[in-house]
A and B are shown apart, each in its own frame.
Chain A
Amino acid sequence: MASSTADRPAGLSLEPQSRRIGEKAIVTWLFVAALAAVLITVGIIVALLEPAAEFFRFVSVTEFFSTARWTPTQADPEFGVLRLLAGTGAAVLYSCIIALPAGLGAAIYMNEYASHRARQVLKPLLEVLEGIPTVVYGFFAVAFVAPLLKDNWWTWMPGRLGEEPGTQFILAAGLVLGIMIIPTVASVSQDAMAAIPRGLREAAYGLGSTRMQVATRVVVPGALSGIVASFVLGLSRAIGETIVVLLAAGAMANLSIWPNDGAFTMTAFIGRTSTGEIAYGTITYYSIFAVGALLFVITLIVNLISIALVRKFREVYE
C-alpha cells in the first residue's frame, strides 16, 4: 500500500482521479475540515496561555504551586492552587473507588456472562446512564444523595470520620461522579474484552476452565491495556467534570481528603467565578485561565496515556 504509486512512472497512476478543479477544491475543503480539530486544539492552547502568562506576571509560579490559601476574591488575595488540586484529587478519589470496580465488573458481566437478550437490555441502559446531563446528576447529588448521607452519617465512627458533614461535602460529589463515569469505564473495557479472539476463550473452556477462570485468567489479562485505558479515561472525565462538584462539593478550598469535608475543585472554581460578576482584566479574571491551563495540561497527559494504551492493545489483537 505504501509504495503503490511511488515506483510507477508519472502519469500512469491507477488511482481514480480527476483533473477537474472542482474535485481538487472539494478534497482541499475536506482536508481543512479535518484540520479544524487541530485548529481547535491550537486555539485552546493560545486562549489559555496568553491570559495565564498575564496571571503569572502578578503571581509567582512558586506561590501558585504552594499550599497557601486560595482566596482570589479577597482584598489580599492568595493563590495556592494546590488547594484546588487537592479538592479535585479528593473528589476523583471517591469517584474512582466506586466507578473502577463497578465499571470493570459490569464489563466482565456484559461480555462473558450476559445472554444475548440480557445484553440487549443492559447496554442501552448503560447508555442512558451515560447520557443523563451533568446538571441532572448535580441536582440529584445536592437534593437527594447529600441529605440522605448527612442524615444517616456513621456518627459512631471514631474521631474526624464520625463528624456529621455540612450540606456540601466530598463524598456526595464523589459518589455521584462515580456513578456518572461507570458507563465510560464499562464500555471502553468491554470493547477491549470483545476484541479478545474467540479461539483463546474456546481453548480455555476446552481445557476445562470455568467461566470465572476464563474471565479472570484469560479475558482480563488479555484486555489489560484496554481496561487500564478505560480507567484512565474515566479518571479524565472525573477530573474535568464541573457541575456535579460545583453543586455538591462546595466552595471551601480545604486541604483534606476526609469524605465529610467540603472541597473546591479546579473546575468548580472556574465555573463559580465565571458565573459571578468579574471585571475583564483583573487578576481574578486571569486566574480562571491559569487554573484552566493547569486543568488542560493534566487532562492532556491523562488522555495521551489512555490513547497510547488503546493503541498498544489494538496492535496486539488486530
Chain B
Amino acid sequence: MSRQSVRTRTAVQAVQDTSIRLERRGADVAGEMFRAVLLLCIVVGIVMLGTLLAYVTWRGWPRLDLNLFTQMPSSINLDTAGFLPAIVGTVWIMVGVLVTVVPLGVSAALYLEEYANNDRWWNRAIEVVIQNLAAVPSIVFGILGLAFVVRSPLALGPVAFAGSLTLTMLVLPTVIIASREAIRAVPSTLRQASIGLGATKWQTVWHQVLPTSVPGILTGTILAMSRAIGETAPLLLVGATTFVQFLPNGPFDGAYTAIPVQIFQWVVRPQEEFRVLAAAGCLVLVVLLLLMNSVAIWLRARFSPES
C-alpha cells in the first residue's frame, strides 16, 4: 500500500464524517466540552506535581538547615542528623558515571550516525537493542551489576564505582539517543565542505561534526545524569548501604551510600522525625534535578536551530 493511499483514505474519511455537520454550525457545545476534558487531562499531572512539591516543601522545611548537609546520619540525634556521606557518595558515583558514559555513548552515536551502513543487518540490530535497553527496568540493571560488577568477573565488591558502572549501563541508551539526534542535526554541507577540502572522514568528524553537536550532546548528558542521580532501585542491589556513618575514601574503597538510597532508608522508618528528614532530602534532590533540567532546557533553547 503506498503512503499516499493512507493519507488519502484518512482525509476522505474525515470529509465524509464532517461534511454532514456542515449545515448546523452554531455553538459547538461538544467541542468545548472536549476541550475542557483535554485540559483536565493535562491539569491532573500538573496539579499532582504542584501538590507533590508543596507537600515535600511543607514537610521538609523544618529540617532544611546546614546540619542536613554537614552531619552524619544518626538514629539518636534526629534533630541534627544529616546525610553528608550520601552527598559525598553521590558525587563519587556521578563522577564515575560521567567519565565512562560520555566517551562510550558519544562514540557509539558517532559510529551509528557517521559510519554505520544501515543496509547491514547488524547495524539495524544494534539500533533495536539500544531502543530495547532504554526500556529495560532499572532493577534489572541492578541484578546485572550485582552479578557482573560486584561479583566476578569484575569483582569490584560493593564500592561506589560498582554503582557508577551499573548506572552507566542504565543511562547509556539515553546518551546515545540524544547524541545521535545532535549529530544528525549537523548540516551535511559542513561535512561535504570539509571532505571537499581534503580532510579524511575522521578529521571531518573530529573537527567539524563533533564541535557543532556539542550543545545537543551536553543537553543529553545532563538529562542522563539527572536520571542517574535519582535512581534508587539498582543501587540497592549493588551494595549501596543504607546506613553509612563515615565518608567513603574514594570510588574504589569502602562502603558507600547515595542521596536517593538514604532517603529511601528514611522513608521506610515509621517515626515522624525520619519522615521530616526524608521530606527534606526529597526537597534537596528535587531542587538539584530542577537546576540540572533547567540548564538542559536552557541549552536546548539557546542552541536550537530555530533561534
Stretch at the interface among A61-69, A72-80, A140-148, A156-164: A140-148
- If A105-B37, A203-B11, A217-B13 touch, does A30 touch B200 (CB 8 Å cutoff)? no
**For residue B52, which residues in chain A have a CB less than 8 angstroms away from its CB?**
132, 136-137, 140, 144
Q: Mark B218-236, 1 if CB is under 8 A from A, else 0.
A: 0000010011011111001
Stretch at the interface among B69-77, B249-257, B274-282: B274-282
**For residue A239, which residues in chain B have a CB less than 8 angstroms away from its CB?**
137
Q: Are A34 and B108 in contact (CB under 8 A)?
A: yes
Q: Which of A36, A128, A135, A183 contacts B172 (CB 8 A)?
A: A36
A279 beta carbon closer than 8 Å to chain B: no
Q: Are A143 and B137 in contact (CB under 8 A)?
A: no
Tell me, rounded to whole Å, the shortest Cβ–Cβ distance linking A14 to chain B.
Answer: 10
Stretch at the interface among A89-97, A208-216, A252-260: A208-216
Q: Are A179 and B278 in contact (CB under 8 A)?
A: no
Tell me, rounded to whole Å, the shortest Cβ–Cβ distance linking A253 to chain B.
Answer: 18
- Chain B interface residue count, CB cutoff 8 Å, equals 102
- If A47-B147, A212-B35, A303-B135 touch, does A37 touch B173 (CB 8 Å cutoff)? yes
Tell me, rounded to whole Å, the shortest Cβ–Cβ distance linking A93 to chain B.
Answer: 18
Q: Are B41 and A102 in contact (CB under 8 A)?
A: yes
Main SS class of interface, B:
helix
Q: Which of A108, A207, A222 contacts B15 (CB 8 A)?
A: A207
Q: Mark B3-29, 1 if CB is under 8 A from A, else 0.
A: 100110011011101110110000010
Q: Mark A196-232, 1 if CB is under 8 A from B, else 0.
A: 0101100110011111111111100110000000000
Q: Which of A35, A129, A139, A267 contacts B46 (CB 8 A)?
A: A129
B285 beta carbon closer than 8 Å to chain A: yes
**For residue B110, which residues in chain A have a CB less than 8 angstroms away from its CB?**
30
Give A29 to B276 CA distance when docked, in angstroms: 49
B185 beta carbon closer than 8 Å to chain A: no
- If A105-B41, A274-B146 touch, does A44 touch B15 (CB 8 Å cutoff)? no
Q: Are A40 and B202 in contact (CB under 8 A)?
A: no
Q: Which of B6, B41, B137, B278 contacts A242 (CB 8 A)?
A: B137
Q: Are A214 and B14 in contact (CB under 8 A)?
A: yes
A292 beta carbon closer than 8 Å to chain B: yes
- The number of chain A residues touching the other chain, given as a range, is 35 or more
- If A128-B290, A239-B137, A241-B137 touch, does A102 touch B44 (CB 8 Å cutoff)? yes
- If A18-B202, A37-B126, A129-B46 touch, does A135 touch B18 (CB 8 Å cutoff)? no
Q: Are A133 and B232 in contact (CB under 8 A)?
A: yes
Q: Are B126 and A35 in contact (CB under 8 A)?
A: yes
> Using a CB-CB cutoff of 8 Å, which residues 45-103 of chain A contact chain B?
47-48, 50-51, 98, 101-103
Give A75 to B11 CA distance when docked, in angstroms: 66
- If A134-B230, A135-B267, A271-B139 touch, does A204 touch B11 (CB 8 Å cutoff)? yes
Q: Which of B6, B37, B132, B148 contacts A303 (CB 8 A)?
A: B132
**For residue B130, which residues in chain A have a CB less than 8 angstroms away from its CB?**
37
Give A280 to B220 CA distance when docked, in angstroms: 38
Give A303 to B199 CA distance when docked, in angstroms: 41
Q: Which of B19, B104, B293 contacts A128 (CB 8 A)?
A: B293
Tell me, rounded to whole Å, the shortest Cβ–Cβ distance linking A312 to chain B.
Answer: 11
Q: Which of B108, B169, B227, B232 contacts A243 (CB 8 A)?
A: B232
Q: Are A143 and B260 in contact (CB under 8 A)?
A: no
Q: Are B137 and A271 in contact (CB under 8 A)?
A: no
- If A47-B144, A247-B268 touch, does A133 touch B112 (CB 8 Å cutoff)? no
Give A92 to B131 CA distance when docked, in angstroms: 22
Q: Are A295 and B137 in contact (CB under 8 A)?
A: yes
- If A23-B202, A144-B55 touch, does A101 touch B41 (CB 8 Å cutoff)? yes
B138 beta carbon closer than 8 Å to chain A: yes
- If A38-B129, A106-B45, A136-B56 touch, does A275 touch B144 (CB 8 Å cutoff)? no
A194 beta carbon closer than 8 Å to chain B: no
Of A35, A236, A242, most B-chain CB atoms within 10 Å: A242
Q: Which of A30, A47, A135, A217 contacts B232 (CB 8 A)?
A: A135
Q: Which of B142, B195, B286, B297 contacts A16 (CB 8 A)?
A: B195
Q: Are A127 and B293 in contact (CB under 8 A)?
A: yes
Q: Which of B105, B176, B200, B260 contacts A133 (CB 8 A)?
A: B260
Of B40, B110, B144, most A-chain CB atoms within 10 Å: B144
> Using a CB-CB cutoff of 8 Å, which residues 169-190 of chain A contact chain B?
179, 182-183, 186
**For residue A222, which residues in chain B have a CB less than 8 angstroms away from its CB?**
10
Q: Are B132 and A304 in contact (CB under 8 A)?
A: yes
Tell me, rounded to whole Å, the shortest Cβ–Cβ distance linking A188 to chain B.
Answer: 11
Q: Are B108 and A179 in contact (CB under 8 A)?
A: no
Q: List 9 A-B contacts (CB under 8 A).
A: A16-B200, A105-B40, A135-B232, A138-B264, A217-B13, A222-B10, A275-B236, A300-B132, A303-B132
For the complex with contacts A37-B129, A135-B264, 5 further pairs of A-B residues with Cβ separation under 8 Å are: A18-B200, A113-B38, A208-B21, A211-B35, A303-B131
Which residues does B use to contact A, with CB under 8 Å? Answer: 3, 6-7, 10-11, 13-15, 17-19, 21-22, 28, 30-31, 34-35, 37-42, 44-46, 48-49, 51-52, 55-56, 59, 103-105, 107-108, 110-112, 115-116, 119, 125-126, 128-133, 135-144, 146-148, 169, 172-173, 176, 195, 199-202, 204, 223, 226-227, 229-233, 236-237, 242, 260, 263-264, 267-268, 275, 278-279, 282, 285-286, 289-290, 293, 297
